[in-house]
Structure 1
């Protein structure tokens, strides 16, 4: 009689042990930033989503990072973030996981995750939006946030490495008079990252993604508001399809990749132009006029490119080697910068809100910063001369994330611009 009872007891013990060792659930690590790991279990094992909290605004998420596999062997838990490459290696001790966190570029640091009690989970995404995933190309889906609202549509586009969640706190402030959306570009956040090729990350390809989302969700004549590198998507759409949009808002997004000033060097745009022209030169069916036009553009660009390369060569002299592993987002960002284009001014209503002169402490008096700010000032002046109807607003001392450092100013200018558009 004892044998069956002992076997049953052993079975119950194993069952309890298995449940006790189940790591599925929400784990939280305090600090700056706070971190949240949501682990789930399926037929293939453990996987999950990882979140940073506290991007300049408390409680605002930086966006999720996929964790395609969480290793759990003999109490040791290991995982890495799919896109950024950060890793964690720790030991499960009851309701905590104690270990070391290492980013791609930083030193290892101690980190303790605690299992969140039911009802005690930190709010990962407090912003009132719906999530969509829209196919913009075979095999490529983009994350689209929909904050709702009534009135003409407004679409936010984030800067490089940012996601639609960059506007989680800001976008809802427009829903009283607009239907507000946000798009996470390919290669970043929860959006798909297609192979890192020139074609997949070309400036016009990114612009076409925005158009594809507009078409899929039947968004009619939206105003596009973009930060930083999103300026090239604004200019791509605005110069090629002005009839499809209601206006453009550049949030400190007026740089060489969004408006090309022939009087200034731009390493990214000039090198991309020469590379494309050389490729096209040998792809063209023989055309004397077409060939001469391409050669003329190459010859006109080469002196500027040479000047820029000489400056880069001087800047890198004596710089120490800092080897690191590039993440998917690094590679996507690099490919975006190597596939910029020469855009002029779009024939559509434009508002440009610029951090000019930018927040620069503690480097304001250093020669490189003085040179940078002078170039930015000259670029903004060239844009104004090329587009007298555009409204350019300069906010002195603002940060590059201008809608955060100077929210009231940006809200005022955006609302005035939006209210003045024909509906």
Structure 2
């Protein structure tokens, strides 16, 4: 009788004691651990860009992310830079949380955005450092507003689009393109039904066919030798942390968790989806904005990633070793081709090649990149 009467009081007491514990056990809202300040700079009517400020002292550096990334991709790298410099990053228009207008992604508009941020932050002659697609923005500003900046640093970035130069190669291999064109010409001659097709047929059989077979066989070996990156499993998509770990296993680069959270959409439970938050209409407009630049009028440094690390290969496996060698050769040739264009267009610039790197070279080879950046900036007036 006494126990029955006291039960409501016990239940009430337990509820008072357990509710705080239950609340504490719930997952706390995620907070970006990077020690940056976030502000939004107005660059045009109804367009604001996210600007990250990590602080630091010294010459200002403005970081520009690759086409599919946001400023948060530099969350870790910026902490190393701020030991010597005042460090900022910008998330370009079209990528949330920056504004996403339906149009206005021309080359000059993207360059003007960068200059507008420099003005909004009241920076004097900063160094612009850009990754991948951002190289076009670097070249645009360095060509049109050289007085606004001290120099540009290309982090495995495209400095220019030259359709004629690109057309000279097949998979960036000039010799392959020459062989394919030779085959096409002889095939056209054969299709014209010469009076006697035997000499041309014998020539194609003896020369062209072995060349084509060698190209196809090497292409297959290159892909077979490429380090595997399996698609994410449901377990990999359980959280942004597990997704981050999945990406690191495939690329040997750990992108900041904040970057995945900024780039990717989520399901109703907050789990990441392999779907960009950036609307699909942005990418094609940015691609259309690519231009040829040959008038970069500030000091420039190009850091190029030779992505020639095939990963672990069993030495006793002759087939696997041959495939890895083909993959390494191909990546070496691509890096050479990219550097050759850069040195042709910017003959006064310094070009540096970093071996066994990832496209995110500022993460995969951070020490080497920092050394090159410091040495370059030390030469600036």
TM over 0.5: yes
Tell me the distance in 2 between the aligned counterparts of 1:221 and 1:419. Answer: 14
Shift in Å, 1:393: 0.9
Over 3 Å counting, the alpha-carbon distance change for 1:222 and 1:391 in structure 2 is: same
The corresponding residue for 1:333 is: 283
Shift in Å, 1:151: 1.6
SS in 1 for 2:281: helix
Over 3 Å counting, the alpha-carbon distance change for 1:221 and 1:171 in structure 2 is: same
Q: Is the 8 A contact 2:96 2:278 kept in 1?
A: no
Q: Is the 8 A contact 1:130 1:146 kept in 2?
A: yes
Shift in Å, 1:361: 5.4
- Structure 2 residue corresponding to 1:135, chosen from 39, 42, 48: 42
Tell me the distance in 2 between the aligned counterparts of 1:325 and 1:252. Answer: 25
Shift in Å, 1:264: 2.8
Structure 1 gaps of 5+ residues are: 1-15, 21-94, 96-114, 268-302, 304-314, 316-323
Structure 2 gaps of 5+ residues are: 1-14, 170-180, 182-218, 220-273, 313-322
Deviates more, 1:223-232 or 1:334-343: 334-343
| Structure of greater relative contact order (alpha carbons < 8 Å, 6+ residues apart) | 2
The corresponding residue for 2:154 is: 250
Tell me the distance in 2 between the aligned counterparts of 1:238 and 1:212. Answer: 14
Aligned pairs for 1:178-197 within 5 A: 178-195=85-102, 197=103
Higher helix share: 2
Shift in Å, 1:226: 0.4
Shift in Å, 1:339: 2.0
Matched, 1:414 2:373: yes
Aligned pairs for 1:100-249 within 5 A: 117=25, 121=28, 124-195=31-102, 197=103, 200-249=104-153
Aligned pairs for 1:17-416 within 5 A: 117=25, 121=28, 124-195=31-102, 197=103, 200-253=104-157, 255=158, 258=160, 260=162, 262-265=164-167, 328-359=278-309, 373-416=332-375
Over 3 Å counting, the alpha-carbon distance change for 1:345 and 1:375 in structure 2 is: farther
Higher strand share: 1
Tell me the distance in 1 between the aligned counterparts of 2:291 and 2:32. Answer: 35
Q: Is the 8 A contact 2:95 2:277 kept in 1?
A: no
Higher-Rg structure is: 2
Shift in Å, 1:390: 1.1
SS in 2 for 1:218: coil
Shift in Å, 1:145: 0.5
